């Protein structure tokens, strides 16, 4: 068999071009950077030689010399999740347009992977990091370390309690999302509602809970803390905590769930306690992941427009690079509520 690939030839450098048209490397560099210092005739000769030799600029070398960077690192939980994929697509589109290249990484919800990954990405000297952090208590320490090394934009989640942020933050209008979801259920006539999933020490949880209680209050209802069921927002845990909804002799007829994953877990779990989701129990989600639209019953949920959010993230991080000294930014992305008719009115249950 013949070897088709040409021997991996040494890449063409500035020196080759300079030699090729009898000028110095400095002059070629000036031509590349469109400097007005070079005479027209010389510029054309150099440009012709660049084309002739099929020159490729070595931006890594240039970045090293100039102490600049043309890459931005993007670390997400899981690219196969359409929510993050759309976000990544928006980020990358905008960064490309601005002349940056995206360094990609997936943490798969593992703090250890996130740690290794960010470390490995930092070795490539990105100008900044866009990170959707893992939910773990130790996350905070990692974040503080990272944000001391380069500008960091946090997307979607902020771990634990922070007083003095040193990173930018892009999150959804959690308050309004939960408020809208709660109003939806209240409009169906529900009087006894739970807030299901997540931990109160997380900022998004607190904000969603605030929207929930506000809607209750406006409806003349008071918030019963026993109906705020806290657990890590995972699908299996959401199934397993279903009994707590009906503990203390309480009979909620619906739940505002922390997010879609939790709602989907709850849909599964309700059956085990003899409830039929969408028939005698109403619930809402948050995120509008694909599954929310296609599960049975379909899930009414809060829509987050991840792609636009990605563009926004890119805009924010470029802003930060242009303006390194300014105060940490916190952008709240708007949300909408999508009704999918999975929220039945309350049934005077035969469970009581």
Partner DNA sequence: CTGAAAGCGCTTACAG
Which residues bind to DNA, rule: CB under 7 A? 10-11, 13-15, 22-27, 29-30, 32-33, 36-42, 57-58, 61-62, 64-67
Note whether 331 binds a second copy by CB under 8 A.
no
The torsion region of residue 78 among left (phi > 0), alpha (psi -120 to 50) and beta comes to beta
Decide if residue 57 touches a second copy (CB under 8 A).
Answer: yes
| Separation in Å, CA 253 to CA 126, 174, 220, 233, 281 | 50, 23, 17, 21, 5
The torsion angles phi and psi of 56, rounded to 5 degrees, stand at -120, 120
Show the 3-state SS of 221-233: CCCCHHHEECECC
Question: Among DNA, a second copy, none, what does residue 29 contact (CB within 5–8 Å per kind)?
Answer: DNA
Nearer residue to DNA within complex by CB, 125 or 162 = 125
Candidate residues 26, 37, 101, 141; the one interacting with a second copy per rule CB under 8 A: 101
CB of 60 to DNA, least distance (A): 8
| Neighbour-count burial for 87-106, b at 16+ CB within 10 Å, e otherwise | bbbbbbebbeeeebebbebb
d(CA 307, CA 315): 13
Q: Which residue has the tokens 């949880």?
A: 205
Applying CB under 8 A, among 164, 222, 350, 352 the residue interacting with a second copy is 164
The residue to which tokens 């020490």 are assigned: 201
Stretch that binds a second copy, among 94-102, 191-199, 233-241, 242-250 (CB under 8 A): 94-102
State how far the Cα of 134 lies from the Cα of 209, in Å rounded to an integer.
21
Residue 140 interacting with a second copy (CB under 8 A): no
Residues that bind a second copy (CB under 8 A): 1, 3-6, 8, 11, 54, 56-61, 63-64, 70-71, 74, 78-80, 82, 85-86, 88-90, 92-93, 96, 99, 101-106, 108, 117, 119-125, 145, 148-149, 151, 164-166, 290, 293-294, 307, 324-328
């Amino acid at each position: 068999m013949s070897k088709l690939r040409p021997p991996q030839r040494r890449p063409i450098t500035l020196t080759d071009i300079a030699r090729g048209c009898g000028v110095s490397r400095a002059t070629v560099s000036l031509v590349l950077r469109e400097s007005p210092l070079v005479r027209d005739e010389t510029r054309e000769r150099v440009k012709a030689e660049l084309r002739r030799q099929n020159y490729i600029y070595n931006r890594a070398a240039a970045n090293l010399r100039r102490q600049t960077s043309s890459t931005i690192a993007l670390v997400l939980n899981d690219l196969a999740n359409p929510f993050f994929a759309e976000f990544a697509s928006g980020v990358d589109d905008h960064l490309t347009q601005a002349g940056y290249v995206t360094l990609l990484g997936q943490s798969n919800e593992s703090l250890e992977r996130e740690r290794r990954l960010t470390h490995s990405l930092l070795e490539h000297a990105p100008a900044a990091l866009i990170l959707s952090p893992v939910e773990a208590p130790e996350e905070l320490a990692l974040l503080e370390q990272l944000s001391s090394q380069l500008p960091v934009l946090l997307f979607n989640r902020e771990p634990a309690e922070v007083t003095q942020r040193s990173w930018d933050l892009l999150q959804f209008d959690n308050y309004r999302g939960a408020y809208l979801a709660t109003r939806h259920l209240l409009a169906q006539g529900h009087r006894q509602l739970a807030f299901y999933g997540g931990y109160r020490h997380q900022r998004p949880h607190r904000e969603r809970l605030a929207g929930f209680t506000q809607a209750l209050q406006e409806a003349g209802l008071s918030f019963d803390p026993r109906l705020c069921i806290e657990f890590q927002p995972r699908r299996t845990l959401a199934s397993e905590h279903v009994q707590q909804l009906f503990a203390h002799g309480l009979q909620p007829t619906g739940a505002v769930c922390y997010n879609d994953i939790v709602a989907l877990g709850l849909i599964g779990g309700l059956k085990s306690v003899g409830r039929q989701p969408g028939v005698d129990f109403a619930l809402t989600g948050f995120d509008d992941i694909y599954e929310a639209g296609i599960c049975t019953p379909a899930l009414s949920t809060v829509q987050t427009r991840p792609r636009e959010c990605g563009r926004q993230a890119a805009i924010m991080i470029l802003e930060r690079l242009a303006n390194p000294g300014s105060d940490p930014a916190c952008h709240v992305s708007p949300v909408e509520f999508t009704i999918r008719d999975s929220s039945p009115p309350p049934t005077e249950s035969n469970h009581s």
